[in-house]
Amino acid sequence: MWQDWVFLGGSAVFNVALLPSLLTKSKPHRATCMVTGGILVAYAITYATLGLWLAMVGVGVSATAYGILSVQRRGT
């Protein structure tokens, strides 16, 4: 499905945009990271149930990145 590729592409752009936050000391608020990560996990599950496996992987990477940011924020 072409939609799978569109969602994957959008997730890839978001993932690249998250790199500076992951690599620098400046982090989003922990609550923001947790809520966003949780919503992205729900999206990943939804994509999987629709058979949009590429979209699920892309959003799963984003959810993982927000989880990492949440842990990094806790440490600062």
Residue 75: the pLDDT is 62
Q: Where are the domains of the chain?
A: 2-11+27-74
Residue 74: the pLDDT is 72
Annotate 49-73 with DSSP letters as a single string: HTT-HHHHHHHHHHHHHHHHHHHHH
Whole-model pTM: value is: 0.89
Tens-place pLDDT, residues 58-68: 999 999 999 99
CA distances (Å), origin 9, targets 15, 40, 42, 54: 10, 15, 19, 9
Other beta carbons within 10 angstroms of residue 71's beta carbon come to 12
Residue 6: the pLDDT is 96
